[in-house]
Amino acid sequence: MKRTLFAFLILVLAGCGSQVSVNHLDYSQPELWYQLAEPSFDADVFYILPTCVHQGDPALGEESHFADLSNPDHIKGMDFSHALAKSVFGAGANFYSPYYRQVDLESWSEGEDVVQKRTERALVDVFDAFDYYYENLRGGRPFVLAGFSQGALAVKEIYKRMSDEQHRNMVAAYVMGFSVTAEDMAECPAIRAAQDSSDTGCFICYNTVGEGTRAEGFFGSSVMCINPTNWRTDNTPGSLPGIDASVAVNPEANVLEVSGLDLDEYFIEDLADLFPRGVLHLQEIYFYEECLRSNVITRINSYMEPAKLTYEPFEGSLRHSFTIATYSRSSTPIVHTKLVWRGITAYGEAAMPQYLGETTESCCAFLDRVAQEVLPAVQDPTDIDAVMAVVDALEPGNKAAHNRR
């Protein structure tokens, strides 16, 4: 119950009048960041806050629906959420989280059209903050995107506008308490769902409800879902840490269903319009704190690993014997290769008929050198020209082993 009350405090601490300006904020100002500090880790987390403010003075009209960053109560409300997020996502990474003129809680009950209109204004700040972070604070390090609720919506929109280079530098994106829809996937085909605990370049998305509860609206239209307790996407259940309850993916609804909870303990009547009984939206980080904390580190470590090359020689049988004037053969030596890097797997093969002057032994010996000497030093294995310049210099003439085509 304490966690529920704490979550509720995040939402209600800020209730004073708010003002919003259409001007761009200057994110070079340290006060627009939560506890900005010198980096001490090899990777970053860029985190976007959930909704932390209520509507301000209605007399302010539309401006009353946005956070006022000069209002100490609004900042105090945001910092409750900031502290929790940093304890989870900043345990093994540099934590960067901007203050932004987010949409108030009341807006989310006014329909999707209103939400879309207002979040477009809030996203101006989020985009400006991310752009400043990427160009001035990142220092070339890989980064995790993460957000909960309104912040999760912002994560999706940041990812959609990112460049190919930025996509390559992203470890993973945590979209917690919001849906990734078919429309999102169509708009941005690069979006890819996580399949296990160590995937990189992927989306980690989930929404939690009590057993038998129907998720609707912003939480009920997702095309992906993963279980943070076991990092499975099927209906294999896992245990909630510290709670006598289990959770499993409902693959038909793409939500997490929790069994064994007293749902009344997590129900807040004042927020029933947004979070009906059984919708466990306010617990999306609390339930999975331990799982998320360790998983961020796991994914960063996976991302940091150099490309891994494995290979397997075998003899390929021919359906018909191949015969020329000087010899005849019924098989061909072949080496299959597998290259894994940041969640991407590439396959290749090389055939070594005798007239090439190569054998599976010479090919495998060469691939050993590639695995040991080239790949650990390569920052981007997709830069084919740069990689092949090094590979070609290892053993000129070994075309069966390193033909770039």
Query: How do residues 88-131 score in pLDDT, each as one tens digit?
Result: 999 999 999 999 999 988 888 888 888 888 999 999 999 999 99
Taken in order of first residue, the domains within the chain and their CATH numbers are 2-304 (no CATH), 308-402 (3.30.390.10)
Residue 294: is it exposed, middle or buried by C-beta count within 10 angstroms (0-12/13-18/19+)?
A: middle
Report the alpha-carbon distance of residue 354 to residue 336 in Å, rounded.
Answer: 17
Angle among Cα 60, 63, 65 to the nearest 5 degrees reads 105
Task: Give pLDDT, residue 209.
Answer: 95
**Tokens 């269903």 correspond to what residue?**
257
Residue labelled with tokens 């429309």: 183
CA distances from 347 to 74, 339, 350, 395 (A): 52, 6, 11, 22
Q: Quote the DSSP letter at residue 269.
A: G
Predicted local distance difference test score (pLDDT) of residue 54: 85
CB neighbours of residue 127 within 10 Å = 16
| d(C-alpha 260, C-alpha 272), whole Å | 21
Question: Which helix or strand (DSSP H or E) is residue 298 part of?
Answer: helix 289-304
Q: What is the mean pLDDT of residues 173-193?
A: 96
pLDDT at position 14 is: 39
pTM of the shown model: 0.81
Q: Hey, is 261 helix, strand or coil?
A: coil
Pairwise CA distance, residues 48 & 53, whole Å: 14
pLDDT tens digits, one per residue of 303-345: 998 778 888 887 778 788 878 777 777 778 888 888 877 767 8
Judged against a pLDDT cut of 50, whether residue 2 lies above it is answered with no
Query: Does the structure show a pLDDT above 70 at 15?
Result: no
Asked whether the predicted pLDDT for residue 6 surpasses 50, the reply is no
Residue 205, pLDDT score: 97
Mean pLDDT of the chain: 86
Are 27 and 128 within 8 A, CB to CB? Answer: yes
Q: How confident is the model at residue 258 (pLDDT cuts 50, 70, 90)?
A: very high
**Tokens 């601490």 identify what position?**
13
Mean pLDDT of 74-78: 94
8 Å CB contact between 96 and 47? yes
Upper half-sphere CA count for residue 8 (Cβ side, 13 Å): 14
Per-residue pLDDT, 402: 52
* Res 17 pLDDT > 60: no
Residue 391 Cα distances to 306, 378, 381, angstroms = 16, 11, 12
By percentage, how much of the chain surpasses pLDDT 90? 56
The token pair that represents 33 in the structure block: 């960041």
- pLDDT, tens only, 184-240: 999 999 999 999 999 999 999 999 999 988 877 667 789 999 999 999 999 999 999
228-254: pLDDT as tens digits? 999 999 999 999 999 999 999 999 999
The closest alpha carbon to 127, from 159, 95, 91, belongs to 159
Higher pLDDT, 219 or 15: 219
Give pLDDT tens digits for 352-388: 776 777 788 878 888 888 888 887 777 777 777 777 7
Measured between alpha carbons, how far is 244 from 260 in angstroms, rounded to an integer?
7
- 133 pLDDT band, cuts 50/70/90, is very high
pLDDT at 330: 79
Q: What does the pLDDT average to over 5-15?
A: 39
> 274: pLDDT confidence band, cut at 50, 70 and 90?
confident
- Using alpha carbons, list the distances in angstroms from residue 57 to 19, 44, 239, 363, 397: 9, 37, 44, 74, 76
